[in-house]
Structure 1
Amino acid sequence: MHRSHARTTLSRALGMALLGLASSAAMAQEATTPQAQDAAPPSPADTQVTELDRVQVSGYRSSVQFSTDAKRDSTGFTDSIFAEDIGKFPDMNIAESLQRIPGIQLSRDVNGEGLNVAIRGLPNSFTTTVVNGAPVATASIGLNAQNQNREVDLNLFPTEFFTQLTVNKTPKASLPEGGIAGVVDMRTARPFDRPGTHVTYQLQGTYNDNVDKLTPQGSVLGSWTNDAGTFGVLVGVTSTRGKIGVEGYETVGWTNPGLNYTQCGLAPPAGVDGSAVRPAECNAGGGGNWLIPNTVPDNASTIGAGLTPGALIDRDALLALNPGLSIEQISDALIPRLSRPVHMSGDRERDAAVASLEWRPNEYARFYLDTMFSKARRTNDRIDINLVGRNFGADGMIPINMQVDANGVVTDATFSNAQFFLEARPYIEDVKYWSVNPGASFLFGDEGMIKLDVQANASRSWMFRESPTILVNSPRTTLQYSNTGSEPTWTTDLDLNDPNAGWTWAGGRVNVQNEKRVTETKGARADLQFGEDRSNIRVGVAYDENRRTIQGFDNSEAWQSEVLSKISDADLVNYLRPGPYGFITADFDAFKNATNYGQYSDSAPESAGPNTGGSTGGFEEKTFGAYIEINGEGEVMNRTLRFNAGVRYVTTDQDVSGPVTIAGVRQWQTLKGDYDEYLPSFNAAWDVADNVVLRFSGSRTMTRPNPSSMLPNTTFTDLSALNASQGNPNLTPYVSTNFDLGGEWYTGGEGMIGLSLFNKRIEGYTYQGTNTIPFSQLGIPYADLTPDQQSAIAARGGPDAATVIVQQQVNADATVNVRGWELIWVQPLDFLLDGLGIMANYTDIDLSTEGNDADQLTGNLYGIAPKLWNATAYFERGPFSVRASYNHTDAIVGTGPNQQGIPYAQIIGESRGQWDLSASYTLENVWSKPQITLNVVNLTGETQRSNFWYSNAVNDIYDPGRTIMLGLRGSF
């Protein structure tokens, strides 16, 4: 374990503070007035009813008021979003709701749907997500996502089931560990949230202008409590039948020519083939994935372009074909590796159910059972047409009259010997998630001053995706290429939408690639509180298990053999169709049926990993935690000071397993690891004036390492078993020392102005390094080695003495500093117009590194916007309500340098803003008071774009379209 001086000092300081505050809390408890001691404590039922009577206030403005009140009452740095009523969350997507909180960055899928959230400059895997206090894990992934770490996809959870979201940016000892960035707590509806008998219904039609179809969704939630207030039931169902329609453009990076000695005009060394070797001095700009032919190929394309088949393409020829350019400019000329328009269309179906039971036999006991189930079926007919710029068997495009800008980006050219390929992938994905969460609360003692909370939880999420690929190639052609800065375009005489254009299997392929994921969680926790809610001592224990497996399956070789035996080039035309986007597509069903696709898919053997880029493998973590926490109140300068202090201890045992191939034999290997941490925390809120609160927090937090970095994947890179690559099961957690300072001025009603400063010093970040360890610690049986490797190990002293140099992820001897500030402003504007108000927030983040391995962390600190802000203007009066929201994310450095072998190149996500609109009108004199709702997502149709370093070298663009939702909601 890495232990810094700063961490040790903080632990000691908070430990001393904890002892002192425990004494203060005890004295405060003893000093309780006799009247307070004599009064019976409010029962859980009374407390709940009182709290949720407030929630019955209708209107979006009331949900803003609840958020303001919750922030004011909190001791730490928290932000909450409330539903004004059961089944009526203020946003159409939970992730979109969280985006309105300062410091939250939303990760969107390519169809514009919110997936994950990141907090305060850290990756979304640094966020812990809990539902009703229990940790959550999901198996789903996005359309273009990998989710190899600890991300939680929020699009599985219907907003109708939730009443409150809380983001804890600073920890308490009683909160689950695992989130350096913060803890997102999602609270589902329960029957006593609204005593009595109630039914809420919602029907909605959704239209996306890329899909041009209307799709339905609906939900019903009903709750009942008996007259005695002792028992309640809540059940709800929701169903969505949606469509996706994404128009986009992708490049998979950019590249430049890899010139050989002959083409760059240098004499090769003696014995070196000048037409085959591509020396660094000819390709100073790196890259080199575009290979220009050594001689002019003999085809209709080159002949039509006026080239002579068989003619040598040397330096002089390239200069003659591209007047005005030097050979250095030709060598550095940037084009897309694959210039491909891409289109996605398909179904997004989701059905979900929620149920909650509450039993309150008396004022001293409460029992509950929360359950939720969600399943989704998603299809995606993804098709793209690719202009090939990358290495294609040393037979790539020949540039003619090429023009480049100052950065080397090709702006105009004629390309001969060009070729396209169709890539058709009909994804089918099924996802399921269920969770069950029983628990109970008990009050003990004559005054009910001892409270016991117990809870158990279990969940399982399962995903299976099949994504076959059909790839066929076009004849060679000559085209006019242009790049004006938005995205490259071309014109060609080849009709790409004609199935009879001469498509061929030469250079093509088919794939059977499936992926299965399973996540499971289970656990139990118990919390014992001595004292009142504001002045108490709490102790607790928790046990959690978390399992995940990812498996790839591939049967491409066998299926391709059958495809080629049954469908010749001449037969291809029978399985190709004109497409809706100007290029062909495949008749997927006919193609699958003719080639026994189902048989090959069902029998696909396990592979090294799925086509999403992950690795086959899994992990199991068993965690035990215990904590003590003090909550109290006192007075400083006649002003109330609220505080929370505690320490959490956590220990984790893990098994990480995956397939390895040793001596030609594939087998699963399991690596073991363990670690433990003490995590102290302190929060204080001081009411320095009637409407001003100052806050301070200091803490240590942890995030567990990436399971994908710990998978075995053991491979020897030499015959002597001296060098190997392997996952690292001994990775220690990321541990952060945190300080937060801030405060708010509450201006009246829902109004407030708040400022927060935060500083995180994170140790334990990982990078690809080396460890020298004994062979016996690799977890590989000596008998499984080849005879040569066994001899080499024996010569070095045997398995226990012989060491191996292992390439693997290691913890850096460095600190990552995350510093920033947040500003939030909520302001009713009734003095201008009754019912008018605004809310806005701004976050500024700075990342830096220090320490011996600081340079090694390059490439690990990307994907976070340095500036985020959003603003909402709302108007609510009588039955009418409307609000317009704008969210802006600054430009994001998405990767480290050296993309596609070009040293300076990084992927840059362009800054993006999105307008959303929501309006409603309530028919107050009609039964159930139905409310007509209108929501417009991405009002102005903004695209998502990233660039390959230069603004006119687009990496990808996705247009999710504008989505309009018209609905009816009522309650009775």
Structure 2
Amino acid sequence: MVNTQPKRLALFVSLSLLSHTLLAQNEQQTMEEVIALASPIRDSQKAAIEAKQHASNFVDVVSADTIGRFPDQNLADSLGRIPGLAIERDQGQARYINFRGAPFRYTTLAIDGIAIPGAENGRIPRFDSFPAVITRKIEANKAVLASMPAESVAGFINIETFNPFETKGFTLATDVGYGQQSLGGGTIDKVSLRTSWSNQNVGLSLFGSQNSREQITDNREFDLEQQDGKLVVNKVDMRSYQVKREDSAYGGRLEYRPQDSLDRFFFSSLYSEFQDHEQRNQYVLDFKAGAEAMGSSVAPGTKGQGLVIINRLLEDGLYENSTWANTLGADIQLGTWLVEGRINKTNTQSEFFLPIPYSAGGNSLASYDLTNIHDPLIELKTDSGSINDISNYALDLFILYGSSLDIDAWKYKLDAKTDVRVAGLSAQLQLGAMYDTRSAQGHGTDVSQQYHLWGVNPADFLTDDAWDTDFTNSIHATNYNNQALRQALEKASGGLRFTPTEANSINIDEDISVAYAMLSTDFAWGSLVTGLRLESTDYASTGPEGQHSDRFTDILPSVHLNVDVAEDVKFRASLSSAISRPTYNEWRASANIDTTEKQISGGNPALQAENAYGGDLSLEWYVGDASLLAIGAFYRHIDKVIYADSTKVDAGLYVPAFAGEQWDYSGFVNGQDGHFQGLELNLIAQASDFIGQHLDGVGFSANLTILDSEFTTLSGSRFSLPGTSDLIYNASVFYENDSLSVRLNYQFRDDWLSTTENDAMGEYWNAQKRLDLSLSYTLPNLGGMDISLYANANNLTDEIDIRYLGSEATPNQIERYGRRYMAGVRVNF
């Protein structure tokens, strides 16, 4: 693995030096004054509402200032406040978006209009590696136009980056923050810098960002059953994670605009990286195996005792992903046509490597008490009552878990638009074409193991450092020095290497050809936008035994009606269609093949894309200049829903010699039809717009979404779509004056089906809620600089995350990570 840290640091230092150089130059020049807005919350809401009001489709907008002034860790947190969007977290950190309660795959992510592949599997966007410094605004398109990617079943999220021509002359924005995670006292560091310069013809912007967060994640997992209404305790899994998560982003934009011309030419680059350094101390306490060893079974009840079999897992591992997107663009006026050309090269990489020393078969007499399931108690009958006394492990193994995926994507995109007259009415005609070619290579999650540790004894790395935990440490566990243990294993083995098996290989080539036409017609009462998009997909998936290829074409119409009911009231209605292609892990032509039993488990290269169609309705009332009241409804029908199940397949897909034979297959299949639908309410209220100027500065925002989804499996069973909560709501109350800004925000979503870590159709997240606070104070203007001090607090009520199987009576995971606090300073010049 190449260490890119020195390069990143060098670039960050270069950005800082460049900004100081430009600042010194500008002190000798006449500058256009940069005015700091006195009401940042109000003004940012006003800008977002204006963008929404004048859009030709159903869209919600988040401005850059809103992103910066919430206590957000990344863009996923920022998006979580949009109506109908909900967050799925990993160890407390926002990572994925359920757009309108739909599966992750139904959302497309783009940067400046260029859709990028999902780093993990080609389809699913992650938002935890994209910091706010890159963002001018975020557009969450819910009713998708013909000019937008067809894979936007639930919606299309476009991140618009900063343009150096927005402000003439030199600008500088920096943000430095420091904080702490309450559980474990881990440090949080944040630093970002964005600088730009432009004159009449040339503009340059550069940015850099680095964020780091250390935390303890407290985790308890269970294997529980219900028997005659009583709980049966099979296993209790106690884990303590020491986590350090880092994200960084670097890039910029160089743009040239010829004199007295509407043309422009630019090059932009964005590199974004996320790293998750994880140390694990884990004990699996198996009461069921202990009872079976004694020739009995576990008695029902939340309390019990008996022999327990103990397994110990230790780890010093790394998860990482990166996106590097480069775009060469030109906008040229050719007569009455404005032609926009883009060439984009994006590379995404995702991998993890988890070396785990695994000691199995230790044993002890023990008792358990799960009366309070949120704080499970296990007491070991050892000399000190500590699990450190266990040394009678029957077997030591070394297990390597790994996965990797490298995607290279080229996009060639051409859009052209011109004003026309249709039946005497003003209209705009837009035509476009795109060719998107991708190559994905890697392997899915793979496991290899060795039956020795090269003479290294994990017990030699045990410390006296007790677990930092909000649970009761009833087993008296202390931490291992996992980093030193890994170093010893690296040295003893000559280097830890992971060799993936062919059964999990991913080798996919995909070409997508696109053409679209869209006509926007203006009427006295509003506008009508009609469009047609054609997407032809040609893919080949190669496995160890052969290759499967296919080609299909989708014709996707859309129509959007916008009616100005009154000057401040707008009605919207739309019909649209979309597709959702399988992820690369699902589409891979590799699998575990048992020719004796005629069984196959793995990818499914013959998987078909899901097709979707539906509609949106909304009524929007724009009150004053910074308030909004809106109600919306939507429906999407999904054909051929993709999920994990068992069925029969033609064995020739994997082994040509067995073509025509129907074998048992376990993996990803197309089920029957499904749908998701919902009702959205959205209020953004400035008190001065409703009550009067005597309450100027007081504001409130709230949104509520009621959702429903369902799909039918091949066997006729019905489930909700992964990610659908029945109820989502957000609420914020704020106050601001010329210098002070205070905002309290609350988020809630109820239970939802999850397949993030488990493909079984029965694992659910329990309801989640978050209470966050942000404060900001702007100092008096100093030499044209806008300086503000801020303090943020996340998860003020110290919420925990819970997953369960089947029902809340049988949780399988409870996770704690504590509150998060940060303070810092922002400077804008």
TM tier relative to shorter chain = 0.7 to 0.9
1:624 to 489, 513, 533: 513
Counterpart position of 1:451: 338
Q: Alignment partner of 1:95: what SS?
A: helix
Post-superposition offset of 1:707: 3.0
Post-superposition offset of 1:755: 0.7
CA distance in 1, matches of 2:433, 2:759: 47
1:489 to 360, 377, 384: 377
The percentage of aligned residue pairs carrying the same residue is: 21
CA distance in 2, matches of 1:361, 1:497: 78
CA distance in 1, matches of 2:494, 2:291: 29
Which amino acid in structure 1 is aligned with residue 572 of structure 2? Answer: R
Question: 1:62-109 CA deviation, whole Å, 9 max, x = no partner?
Answer: 111111111111121110111149987884421111111111011111
Counterpart position of 2:224: 254
Counterpart position of 2:530: 645
Tell me, yes or no, if the aligned pair for 1:397 and 1:416 is still in contact at 8 Å.
Answer: no
CA distance in 2, matches of 1:85, 1:908: 32
Give the alignment's Cα RMSD to 1 decimal.
3.2
User: Aligned pair in 2 of structure 1 residues 703, 56: CA closer, same or farther (>3 Å)?
Assistant: farther
2:655 to 765, 780, 784: 780
Q: Alignment partner of 1:67: what SS?
A: helix
CA distance in 2, matches of 1:847, 1:596: 49
Post-superposition offset of 1:605: 1.9
2:796 to 918, 935, 939: 939
* Greater alpha carbon shift after TM alignment, 152-161 vs 595-604: 595-604
1:953 to 792, 805, 810: 810
Q: Alignment partner of 2:128: what SS?
A: helix
1:123 to 94, 103, 106: 103
Question: 1:490-536 CA deviation, whole Å, 9 max, x = no partner?
Answer: 22332688586241330443212333222222201001111189831
Counterpart position of 1:268: none
CA distance in 2, matches of 1:512, 1:128: 33
Post-superposition offset of 1:858: 3.5
Post-superposition offset of 1:333: 5.4
Post-superposition offset of 1:219: 1.3
- The reply to whether residue 549 of structure 1 matches residue 441 of structure 2 is yes
Counterpart position of 1:876: 736
User: Aligned pair in 2 of structure 1 residues 829, 188: CA closer, same or farther (>3 Å)?
Assistant: same
Post-superposition offset of 1:805: 4.1
Question: 1:648-695 CA deviation, whole Å, 9 max, x = no partner?
Answer: 00001112234xxxxxxxx36432122110000000110011211111
Number of residue pairs matched by the alignment: 776
User: Aligned pair in 2 of structure 1 residues 842, 89: CA closer, same or farther (>3 Å)?
Assistant: closer
Tell me, yes or no, if the aligned pair for 1:397 and 1:418 is still in contact at 8 Å.
Answer: no
Tell me, yes or no, if the aligned pair for 1:836 and 1:876 is still in contact at 8 Å.
Answer: yes
CA distance in 1, matches of 2:498, 2:592: 24
User: Aligned pair in 2 of structure 1 residues 484, 715: CA closer, same or farther (>3 Å)?
Assistant: closer
After TM superposition, list the pairs within 5 Å mapping 1:355-504 onto structure 2: 355-362=252-259, 363-391=261-289, 394-395=292-293, 404=300, 410-413=301-304, 415-445=305-335, 449-472=336-359, 474-494=362-382, 501-504=389-392
* Greater alpha carbon shift after TM alignment, 938-947 vs 677-686: 938-947
User: Aligned pair in 2 of structure 1 residues 674, 884: CA closer, same or farther (>3 Å)?
Assistant: same
1:926 to 770, 782, 788: 782
2:708 to 835, 842, 846: 846
CA distance in 1, matches of 2:759, 2:245: 34
Which amino acid in structure 2 is aligned with residue 937 of structure 1? Answer: N
> Unaligned 5+ residue runs, structure 2?
1-32, 468-475
Q: Alignment partner of 1:512: what SS?
A: strand
User: Aligned pair in 2 of structure 1 residues 488, 899: CA closer, same or farther (>3 Å)?
Assistant: farther
Question: 1:275-316 CA deviation, whole Å, 9 max, x = no partner?
Answer: xxxxxxxxxx6xxxxxxxxxxxxxxxxxxxxxxxxxxxxxxx
Q: Alignment partner of 1:561: what SS?
A: coil
CA distance in 1, matches of 2:759, 2:275: 35
Q: Alignment partner of 2:293: what SS?
A: coil
Tell me, yes or no, if the aligned pair for 1:485 and 1:953 is still in contact at 8 Å.
Answer: no
Counterpart position of 2:590: 713
CA distance in 2, matches of 1:715, 1:952: 35
Tell me, yes or no, if the aligned pair for 2:240 and 2:282 is still in contact at 8 Å.
Answer: yes
User: Aligned pair in 2 of structure 1 residues 237, 584: CA closer, same or farther (>3 Å)?
Assistant: same
* Greater alpha carbon shift after TM alignment, 149-158 vs 859-868: 859-868
User: Aligned pair in 2 of structure 1 residues 594, 356: CA closer, same or farther (>3 Å)?
Assistant: closer
Q: Alignment partner of 1:177: what SS?
A: coil
Which amino acid in structure 2 is aligned with residue 544 of structure 1? Answer: D
After TM superposition, list the pairs within 5 Å mapping 1:49-448 onto structure 2: 59-84=40-65, 91-110=72-91, 112-139=92-119, 150-226=123-199, 229-251=200-222, 253-255=223-225, 334-362=231-259, 363-391=261-289, 394-395=292-293, 404=300, 410-413=301-304, 415-445=305-335
After TM superposition, list the pairs within 5 Å mapping 1:648-727 onto structure 2: 648-658=533-543, 667=544, 669-714=546-591, 717-719=594-596, 727=603
Tell me, yes or no, if the aligned pair for 1:701 and 1:735 is still in contact at 8 Å.
Answer: yes
* Greater alpha carbon shift after TM alignment, 337-346 vs 669-678: 337-346
CA distance in 2, matches of 1:176, 1:241: 33
Question: 1:165-193 CA deviation, whole Å, 9 max, x = no partner?
Answer: 00111111111221211100011112012
Q: Alignment partner of 1:71: what SS?
A: helix
Question: 1:393-450 CA deviation, whole Å, 9 max, x = no partner?
Answer: 94269678x5x5xxxxx2222x1112333221211234433110111111122xxx31
The normalised TM-score by structure 2 is 0.87
Post-superposition offset of 1:552: 5.7
Counterpart position of 2:4: none
CA distance in 2, matches of 1:500, 1:835: 58
User: Aligned pair in 2 of structure 1 residues 164, 53: CA closer, same or farther (>3 Å)?
Assistant: farther
Post-superposition offset of 1:713: 3.1
User: Aligned pair in 2 of structure 1 residues 854, 588: CA closer, same or farther (>3 Å)?
Assistant: closer
Tell me, yes or no, if the aligned pair for 2:290 and 2:306 is still in contact at 8 Å.
Answer: no
Counterpart position of 1:764: 640
CA distance in 2, matches of 1:703, 1:751: 36
Post-superposition offset of 1:698: 0.7
In terms of fraction of residues, the more strand-rich structure is 2
CA distance in 2, matches of 1:531, 1:865: 43
Counterpart position of 1:633: 522
Question: 1:685-723 CA deviation, whole Å, 9 max, x = no partner?
Answer: 1001121111100111111123333322355555496x6
User: Aligned pair in 2 of structure 1 residues 396, 101: CA closer, same or farther (>3 Å)?
Assistant: farther
Question: 1:203-225 CA deviation, whole Å, 9 max, x = no partner?
Answer: 11021101314343211111000
After TM superposition, list the pairs within 5 Å mapping 1:900-911 onto structure 2: 906-911=762-767
Counterpart position of 1:587: 481
Counterpart position of 2:695: 833
CA distance in 2, matches of 1:90, 1:633: 41
User: Aligned pair in 2 of structure 1 residues 506, 772: CA closer, same or farther (>3 Å)?
Assistant: closer
Q: Alignment partner of 1:864: what SS?
A: coil
Q: Alignment partner of 1:504: what SS?
A: coil
Counterpart position of 2:472: none
User: Aligned pair in 2 of structure 1 residues 89, 887: CA closer, same or farther (>3 Å)?
Assistant: closer
Counterpart position of 1:32: none
Tell me, yes or no, if the aligned pair for 1:199 and 1:221 is still in contact at 8 Å.
Answer: yes
CA distance in 2, matches of 1:725, 1:398: 34
Tell me, yes or no, if the aligned pair for 1:537 and 1:630 is still in contact at 8 Å.
Answer: yes
Tell me, yes or no, if the aligned pair for 1:504 and 1:572 is still in contact at 8 Å.
Answer: no
Q: Alignment partner of 1:419: what SS?
A: strand
CA distance in 1, matches of 2:34, 2:579: 38
Question: 1:214-253 CA deviation, whole Å, 9 max, x = no partner?
Answer: 3432111110002xx11110011112232122122112x3
1:732 to 608, 624, 646: 608
Q: Alignment partner of 1:861: what SS?
A: coil
Choose 1 or 2 for highest CA Rg: 1
Tell me, yes or no, if the aligned pair for 1:86 and 1:189 is still in contact at 8 Å.
Answer: no
Counterpart position of 2:452: 561
